[in-house]
Amino acid sequence: MDVTELAGLYDLLMARWPSPVVALNRAVVTGLAHGPAAGLAALDELATEPQLSSYSYLAAARADFLAKLGRISEARTAYSEALLLTENAVERDFLDSRLRALPDS
């Protein structure tokens, strides 16, 4: 299955079971299928969703797309936000490694 097909499946899932987390996953798949700018735009539409305001995966996904777009300073901020929002040690280690891997801006 390719990511374009997966994006279509997320459209169907959103129609049957709309939720902020499904919307977030759909936004990530949109970025994988159509590029980081499209993914970032889809994620930014979710920024005011109350259920995602403290969800580390939103900040982490934004950070990844921002880094891919070369917006390093913003990616640092988003990775730092994601680190603040998670208490899971494995996730913190992963996010910290991604943050440290960013080039100097």
Radius of gyration of the chain (CA): 14
Ramachandran category for residue 88: left, alpha or beta (phi over 0 → left; psi -120 to 50 → alpha): beta
For position 97, which CATH number holds?
Answer: 1.25.40.10
pTM, two decimal places: 0.92
> Do 43 and 58 form a contact (C-beta atoms < 8 A)?
yes
Question: Number of structural domains, the chain?
Answer: 1
Q: Which domain holds residue 9?
A: 3-101
Going by C-beta distance under 8 Å and a sequence separation of 6 or more, which residues neighbour residue 42?
A: 26, 27, 30, 31
Residue positions counted in the chain: 105
Q: pLDDT of 13-71, one tens digit each? A: 999 999 999 999 999 999 999 999 999 999 999 999 999 989 999 999 999 999 999 99
